Structure 1
Amino acid sequence: MSNTSDVRRPVGLGIKRGLKHRCPNCGEGELFARYLKVNAECAACGHDLSQYRADDGPAYLTILLVGHLIVAPAFFFPVMWETSPWIIVPAALAALTAAVLTLLPRIKGGFIGLLWANRVTKDQPA
């Protein structure tokens, strides 16, 4: 007899569903109630979503990605050095803020999908 904890959970599937803001268990229900607030349970399958603690992981990963994929390459463009700082700094801050705010919920969803696939819950001892 197979226990539900023996069922294989593909990592890629969990991350993909999380990136789409969907329940990692069924892929149907909404993952978030608000911008970053995770629903207590999935409306479609009833899976307990409150058991996955993403904590600071998604924020750290978001900053890491934005820093390496946007900020670092931007320094190779001459416009960064030739334009007045009074123009570059506000423009860069606005662009970076938009990038971080766009990526953060997606990365948090993917992070929760990863936790779901690996069966990492807040009830497990460290």
Structure 2
Amino acid sequence: MSENYYPDLSPLKTGIAGTCPRCGRGKLFDGYLTLAEKCRSCGLSYEFADGGDGAAWFVMLFVCVAGVGSILGVEAAYSPPYWVHALIAVPVLIVLPLLLLRPVKGVLINQQWKADAREGRLGK
């Protein structure tokens, strides 16, 4: 094998782990959601990455459906007082997006690299 060989890695696995889409070893993020400039292991530049609002949109969609659905289910099944809803639902609706945002952003960026997706341009 040559030095430039990189295995075909799953964007799902590397994205959830927050690692480089090419080598799977270097960190994808410098901070919580801040992308690193490049992979410290293989040197892949992350300039291609356009995180945008896609991860936030997917996380909001999932959390709203799951969170509100479970709140309505608890209300229908047990009819607890409002303070019980506040005690359970508010932390869930805050903590769940915080837990999901980074892995979802990692998956979307790693899928973008794997599909060689680029910004759309009009050809002349």
CA gap of 1:81–1:125, structure 2 versus 1, over 3 A, is farther
Amino acid at match of 1:87: V
Structure 1 unmatched ranges of 5 or more: none
Task: Single out whichever of 76-85 and 26-35 deviates more from structure 2.
Answer: 76-85
Q: Equivalents in 2 of 1:101, 1:26: separation in Å? A: 26
Question: What letter matches 2:59 in structure 1?
Answer: T
Q: Tell me how far 1:80 sits from its aligned partner.
A: 7.4
When normalised by structure 1's length, the TM-score is 0.80
Shift of 1:83: 2.0
Unaligned runs of 5+ in 2: none
Tell me what 2:18 maps to: 21
Correspondence 1:120 to 2:117: yes
In the TM superposition, what is the alpha-carbon distance from 1:90 to its structure 2 partner?
A: 4.3
- Residue 106 (structure 1) shift: 0.5
1:75 to partner: Cα distance: 1.4
Over the matched positions of the two proteins, sequence identity in percent amounts to 26
Distance 2:118 2:38 in 1: 14
Secondary structure of 2:47's partner?
Answer: helix
Measured on the aligned residues, the alpha-carbon RMSD in Å equals: 2.6
Q: Distance in 1 between matches of 2:38 and 2:22?
A: 11
Bigger relative CO (Cα 8 Å, ≥ 6 apart): 1
Equivalent pairs, count: 118
Indicate the residue corresponding to 1:60 in structure 2: 57
Amino acid at match of 1:109: G
